[in-house]
Structure 1
Amino acid sequence: MKHSPLPRPEAQIDIDSVFHAGIGRLTGGLSPAALTSAGLDWWMHLAGSPRKQAELAQRAWSGAFEAWMTPLRCALDGGEGRLCKRAAADKRFRQEEWESYPFNLFSHWFLIQQDWWQAATSGIEGIEPAHARMVEFMARQTLDMMAPSNFIATNPTVLARIQEERGANLARGFQNWLEDLHQLLGTDTPEPSDYRVGENVAVTPGEVVFRNRLIELIRYRPTTKTVRPEPILVVPAWIMKYYILDLSPHNSLVRYLRDQGFEVYMISWKNPEKSDADLGFNDYYDLGLGAALDVIAPQQTDRVHAVGYCLGGTMLATGAAAMARDGDARLATLSMLAAQVDFTEAGELSLFISESQVTFLEDIMAMQGYLRADQMAGTFQMLRSNDLIWSRVIRHYLLGERTAMNDLMAWNADTTRMPARMHSEYLRQFFLENRLARGQFEVAGRAVALTDITAPIFCLATEKDHVSPWRSVYKIGLLTDTDVTFCLTAGGHNGGVLSEPGHPRRHHRIEDRAQRSDHVGPEEWLADTPRRDGSWWPAWIPWLEARSGSPVRPEAGGRGHALGPAPGSYVFA
């Protein structure tokens, strides 16, 4: 794959990069030009639409009347009316304290403003759709920040806690804020977590059998007397530590596969440094997926079940297409877990992917050599600001409580970086230009096509995924000509994948596309496919077994040479 040429002369890049990097520290990596152009587009089209202006004026008057009258109506009908229950539908205002005056007035005022801004940022003719989504998103972020639940004087729960504890909660909250500030500025060492890699997370016994400058390959031997002849290779995303799939013993997907009679190999990516800035997709493919396959399946007659998670699934699909193009048939099956191959409907994350935004990030990365984890994390937090930002502010700083850490939160805090060229190529060629879905993405200098893949595919999506929306993941059935089994499970991007048997409130839907001769849209598929209670893991195992050889006695040595015990060394970087 050819590297993208630099858009400006090198001397000019130095000046621009320094300037943009400074701005990026203030904006969390967001491009002011992208935000400004979207806002200007919205404002000019709104200014040129008298009909929309009249509609918004009418909404403002009726909203003001409703804001004043709703508390009175609630008092008269005992809180049973539709308007009275409206605030309770928002989880920020579900506590009983919000039903009393004047807090019921605050919540209703806020929700009316929220409705008004929703109307103001939608239905305007002529505005670019991407700009409309950006303005609506930023308006929602601003409103979420100004919600009455976020302030001491307008949050009845916080006021009651202050009275109960005589302000001790605010003292604890201030101490929590200072600790978080010092940690953010890097002036304090964070408290050690109760979850430590190799001690109570990432503890499935294994051994590192291969290492190069980019990956460690970890092997996990099955615990059964016989083993399937085709091992499993797991390719996690290069922006995460691998042990999301070997979290705790009770929810470790690696442990579960091992106990079902599969030999499992896991790629553990190195956390890149500035010296790795020039590593691109081809390097990650060659040194990652390609190198791992050469260790596990050195002969063309060897067969492997490949599993890709998130961006690792995108790389796996790309690599599978390249291997099919080149006549390499070592992949027995592909399992894609919350992974996209088409990025035209990539959800709200696509709001941050534009020419202006990508160029801005490239200038920031030119100074650092990589994109820092906190610069990525801010974007993901904005997608769920109520859950990941403001609820934290209320609990940690206003109520003076600390959220109890769990294994998933500990993993999420164990951040990684992304090398500059790799991140730039991924954003431009996958997100911005959608080259993989169009058959234009190049591996080893030649384009690949997903339609070349002949290995059967198991595709998993999650219902509440903000990173890989399930309707976007579902498109793999349109872009491939092989047998696709699609499974939709409850949960989000990470929690839905970690749906071990016995997990409460889990369900899934699953269907093999080969059972239908015609294409079915995602909404029709959702309506027609019956819901099954329980984890999707037990449904995946028979799928793998049906496409595996008969169990055999395990090899004494196995592939690769033991270099040390799991979890290896790269995971600690």
Structure 2
Amino acid sequence: MAKPGNEPHDGGALLAEMAHWTGVIGKAQQLLMEHGASAALKAGDDFMAQMGQMPVMDPAGMAAAPAAMWAETLGFWRSMLPETEGAAPDRRFAAPDWQEPLFDLIRQTYAVAADQFLSIIDQAPGLSPHQAEQLRFGARNFVEAMSPSNFAFTNPQVVAKIVETRGQNLITGLQRMIEDASSGQLRHVGKDAFELGRNIAMTPGKVVYEAPLFQLIQYSPTTEQVSEIPLIIFPPWFNRFYILDLSPEKSLVQWAVDQGLTVFIVSWKSADASIAHVLMDDYVLNGEWEAIEVVTRLLDVPKTHVVGYCVAGTALSMMLAWAHATGNEAKIASATFFTAQVDFTESGDLSLFVDDAQLKLMGTMAKDGVFDGRYMAMTFNLLRSRDLIWNYVVNNYLLAEDYKSFDLLHWNGDVTNLPAGWQLRYLTELYRDNLLVKPGALSVAGTPIDLTIVKTPAYIQAGREDHIAPAKSVWKMLHHFGGPMRFVLAGSGHIAGVVNHPSANKYQYWTNEAKVDTLDDFVAGATEHKGSWWPDWLKWLSAHDAAKVPAEGARIPGGGALPAIEDAPGRYARTR
């Protein structure tokens, strides 16, 4: 029997614990070394050499301290901090763990430091307005990056996860980070969560026409009668077309078909060397106009409704001006614009990326005349870095949580490459120089472009919280077209404001029947409507197309002069 004061020390447990945490760090080192990062681990080697001489600490102890001491310290700091009552809650710090004294102190200290830093940036002297906005944008992203929620041992949820999994979350997260670094893209959803034609892009249809720049998809009717005038949708070529055909409960394409419309959509080809030379003229004439010619011939109709989303809406405005100038405007019954811009004087944070230095840098990134779409994806993610970058750094890398199955985020990461020459001209001539709204400054196939001659009826939709095409920028379209226009302001932003199925009963939209000059005046006198704006748009379309025809013959994909090439969503949508 051991004498009092001489109890046996549990050396085996200590060694086992030490071996476990040494193994965790060793595994992390191995992963990094396998990917060419051994030089960065010299400090880790030094740490490992000292581990045998140090007592093993419970990881939770790194964040623990006597409660009385922290309460006293926190009380002092709180007396120094400004009141924040009434401020919007910050989701990064919503977990109850952040109310523990140490982490509450870290959180509040960060908030004060961030506010002070951004205040100093706002007062920086001697800068042009553009330079000041660039500095503020960079500062905001720096502040987002430095949030204590983004680091393992200043985030209480991560500390708890380390204890719970005995460090496995960090190993799993490191493996994911290395995979993402190798692919050049932050992954938001699991690799196998979605498959085109299986659980997204499911609306039945056929590819009925293929050109070097696009495939044309025709969807199968679900009603016995359909509107005589067909609908052609031009999605942006920055991503895949199926943002408008996600799951059936979100699909605008399926909904439009079910309302009795004959729907076609353009699936743009992701740029490769074969189309590296194309410019805006090609997207206007060899893309949008060619699709109109194909559809009117196929269905033997004199005109079509057309939709342009984002940059495809910008191209659509040029196509309308070209059509009016060349006497071809009768082929277009109406034009709808989803969050599209023609006047870029208030184009938001994307304009910060179009000064001479950054345009020159972009030019160096092109390979074989093609601009890698991952760069554009990262730019868009930076516009909402808290939600689209750091949120996933924490969830995917630090907490190693299961990936969410979110179709919209799968689409967001399914990027397309762009013709580099056209991309640089687009950013220079439109975003930087704003030439589209200067009559005659741009041309299509030698025809000067003047938006003021466009008389086609237009439905113009904007998103109240759109950070890519701000509502004030979209509104300016009303000052340049000369035909009848209907403006609708939708709740949410660039994607969710557009992709809002009526069955979801989400968000709202605003209309104002009075003639007003500014968006502020529109909002001041607007009527709010709950839910989706799609039925309002359908009612507007119907006013321009009352005739119905049987859903037979060429109204069936492959049933007319153009045989079906393949099932929707087609080869171009799957080409990486």
Q: Tell me whether the two structures share a fold, i.e. TM-score over 0.5.
A: yes
Structure 2 counterpart of 1:248, which letter? S
Secondary structure of the 1:552 match is strand
| Aligned residue number for residue 482 of structure 1 | 483
Deviation, structure 1 residue 215: 1.1
Distance 1:475 1:319, change over 3 A: same
CA RMSD of aligned residues (A): 2.6
Distance 1:135 1:74, change over 3 A: closer
Contact 1:466–1:492 at 8 Å: present in 2 too? Answer: yes
1:548 pairs with 2:551:
no
Q: Deviations over 1:418-438 (max 9, x none)?
A: 012221221111111111122
1:566 pairs with 2:568:
yes
Secondary structure of the 1:502 match is helix
Deviation, structure 1 residue 95: 2.3
Deviation, structure 1 residue 167: 2.7
**Structure 2: how far apart are the matches of 1:70 and 1:483?**
65
Contact 1:501–1:535 at 8 Å: present in 2 too? Answer: yes
Structure 2 counterpart of 1:565, which letter? D
Task: Tell me the number of residue pairs that the alignment of Structure 1 and Structure 2 aligns.
Answer: 495
Contact 1:236–1:312 at 8 Å: present in 2 too? Answer: yes
Distance 1:182 1:397, change over 3 A: same
**Structure 2: how far apart are the matches of 1:539 and 1:193?**
37
1:446 pairs with 2:447:
yes
Secondary structure of the 1:305 match is strand
1:132 pairs with 2:132:
yes
Q: Deviations over 1:33-84 (max 9, x none)?
A: xxxxxxxxxxxxxxxxxxxxxxxxxxxxxxxxxxx999427989xxxx9825
Q: 1:59-458 maps to which residues of 2 (within 5 A)?
A: 71-72=74-75, 83=83, 85=85, 89-124=89-124, 126-184=126-184, 192-298=191-297, 302-328=302-328, 329-365=330-366, 367-439=367-439, 440-458=441-459
Q: Deviations over 1:163-219 (max 9, x none)?
A: 333333223323332333343399x9x974231112221121112221111111111
The runs of 5 or more residues in structure 1 that have no matched partner are: 1-67
Structure 2 counterpart of 1:351, which letter? L
Q: 1:27-66 maps to which residues of 2 (within 5 A)?
A: none
Contact 1:216–1:268 at 8 Å: present in 2 too? Answer: yes
Deviation, structure 1 residue 267: 0.7
Structure 2 counterpart of 1:548, which letter? D
| Aligned residue number for residue 20 of structure 1 | none
Distance 1:87 1:509, change over 3 A: closer
Secondary structure of the 1:474 match is helix
Match of 1:535 among 532, 537, 541: 532
1:470 pairs with 2:471:
yes
Secondary structure of the 2:209 match is strand
Deviation, structure 1 residue 159: 1.7
- TM-score (structure 1 length as normaliser): 0.81
**Structure 2: how far apart are the matches of 1:218 and 1:312?**
17
Distance 1:185 1:391, change over 3 A: closer
Larger of the two Rg values belongs to structure: 2
**Structure 2: how far apart are the matches of 1:540 and 1:214?**
29
Secondary structure of the 1:216 match is strand
Q: 1:488-503 maps to which residues of 2 (within 5 A)?
A: 488-503=489-504
Secondary structure of the 1:344 match is coil
Deviation, structure 1 residue 476: 1.0
Deviation, structure 1 residue 529: 0.6
Distance 1:350 1:222, change over 3 A: same
Secondary structure of the 2:335 match is strand
**Structure 2: how far apart are the matches of 1:70 and 1:101?**
9
Distance 1:361 1:300, change over 3 A: farther
The runs of 5 or more residues in structure 2 that have no matched partner are: 1-70
Contact 2:512–2:525 at 8 Å: present in 1 too? Answer: no
Contact 2:306–2:335 at 8 Å: present in 1 too? Answer: yes
Deviation, structure 1 residue 85: 4.3
Deviation, structure 1 residue 552: 2.4
**Structure 2: how far apart are the matches of 1:159 and 1:347?**
38
Q: Deviations over 1:97-144 (max 9, x none)?
A: 222322222222212222222222224554200000011111111111
**Structure 1: how far apart are the matches of 2:348 and 2:402?**
31
Structure 2 counterpart of 1:287, which letter? N
Deviation, structure 1 residue 162: 2.4
Q: Deviations over 1:527-563 (max 9, x none)?
A: 2212111111111110100111322223512465022
Distance 1:126 1:484, change over 3 A: farther
- TM-score (structure 2 length as normaliser): 0.81
Structure 2 counterpart of 1:388, which letter? L
Contact 1:193–1:410 at 8 Å: present in 2 too? Answer: no
Structure 2 counterpart of 1:343, which letter? F
Structure 2 counterpart of 1:380, which letter? F
428-437 or 402-411: which moved more?
Answer: 402-411
Structure 2 counterpart of 1:332, which letter? A
**Structure 2: how far apart are the matches of 1:70 and 1:266?**
62
Secondary structure of the 2:548 match is coil
Structure 2 counterpart of 1:313, which letter? G
Aligned sequence identity (%):
34
Structure 1 counterpart of 2:180, which letter? D
